[in-house]
Amino acid sequence: MIRSVLCLLAAAGLAAAQPPKADPPGNPDPIPPPGRPPAAARAAREEVELLEAHLATKQAYVKAAEVAVEGPKVRLTRLARLAAAGTVTEDEVEAAKVEVKLAEAQLAIRKAEANEVAVRLKHARARVERTGKQAAAEPELRRLAEAAEKARAEAARTGATAEQLRVRYETMSRTYDPNTPVILNAERTLKAARARAEAAEAKAAATEAEIDRQRAEIEGKPGMLLTSSRPSPASRPPRGRPGCRPRRCRPS
């Protein structure tokens, strides 16, 4: 018997000496420490800097292509005058025209490449602005999300309480006269519970709508229609006194 007790104590001591298991890692905090920009904002700014350098290179190519067009044009003008004087043949003039067209085509290609980079730079700058707004609004959005979660929990709790009171009221209405103080008090209690549940539901819906509105404003869509996925209390059918028999139900 003593040996068994000692074994149990030793096992308990080993279990207590073991370090507690670490909690599984959760999602990383989306809000960076103060003074450190978020990763998305840093990446967006780096992309803007890279595209600005790329655009400067493409614009230099455009200038070089513009200069490259001038030489064939000058040569074509000179050959045209010589052809008019009969010094050179028409074939040489046509060859010069082809050179001009080739140089102009190269210029058009360089301009198109520069325009493509300019468009990409425009979108990258818009992303920088958007990520900056997101980083600035993230603490407020988190606070609103926590408030909406609490309001949803409160709505569920008060809704469950109202349902319990409804069942109790229906049971009592089958036993007592509708004009008795017991039934009247139960009816008032049920109405108050329903009002609290609907107020909590409305608060949660309003908070979620505000979250949607702020996110839409960040995305540059302030005019979009924002509605909550949950039905509002006003959209629900009116509740009477369920479960009552018609001859006992009092008019509301």
Burial of 205 (0-12, 13-18, 19+ CB in 10 A): buried
pTM confidence score: 0.46
Domain ranges of the chain: 39-235
Each residue's pLDDT expressed in tens, for the chain with a length of 252 residues: 434 433 433 444 434 444 434 433 444 434 444 444 567 778 888 899 999 999 999 999 999 999 999 999 999 999 888 888 888 888 888 999 999 999 999 999 999 999 999 999 999 888 888 777 777 777 887 888 888 888 888 888 888 888 888 888 888 888 888 788 888 888 888 888 888 888 888 888 888 888 888 778 777 664 444 444 444 444 444 444 444 443 444 433
Of 156, 160, 161, 163, the C-alpha closest to 239 is 163
Q: For residue 38, what pLDDT is reported?
A: 62
